[in-house]
Amino acid sequence: MTNINFSETKLASRYGEEPSSEGNNTVFVDLIIDWISLYQRLKEHDFIPAFGWGNDEQQQLTIDYFLFKFPFEFKYHRYPILICPQCGDLECGYISVAIDKESDIVEWSNFYLEHNNQPLDIGPFHFKWDNYKAAIENAYEIGRLS
């Protein structure tokens, strides 16, 4: 039996409320899996979740990738889930995840630090479609309001 994870999203920032980090304190929408932040789980790599920042068009495209409306153009079934906190450019490096959907279950597996060609020891995670879809759509709403 597959363990089902719970997902939600919330507004976060790289350095919280620390005033000394003002110019670099990127605000983003964090992915919370079973009440633990994905950003915090992978913080050592200095990337942030791809949700909730950038212009509206970029935010919508990210949401569309994760809701299977479009495949990510560079990697088949792999999606950039954590990206550069300063510019979001994939050339700076990123963490990708394989995402598959079977029936009403979405699986995130095989997290990978792309610029180092290094697999990461996290996951897999399995989400019920309704919970997953609500969390991803909420990421867009939170991002638009931030």
CA terminus-to-terminus distance, the chain:
39
Which regions in the chain score pLDDT beneath 50?
A: 20
Q: pTM of the full predicted structure?
A: 0.88
pLDDT of residue 76: 66
For the residues of 44-105, what is the DSSP string, one character each?
GG--EESSS-S-HHHHHHHHHHHTTSS--SSSTTEEEEEE-TTT--GGG--EEEEEEEETTE
Q: What is the pLDDT of residues 37-75, one digit of tens each?
A: 999 999 999 999 999 877 888 888 889 999 999 877 766
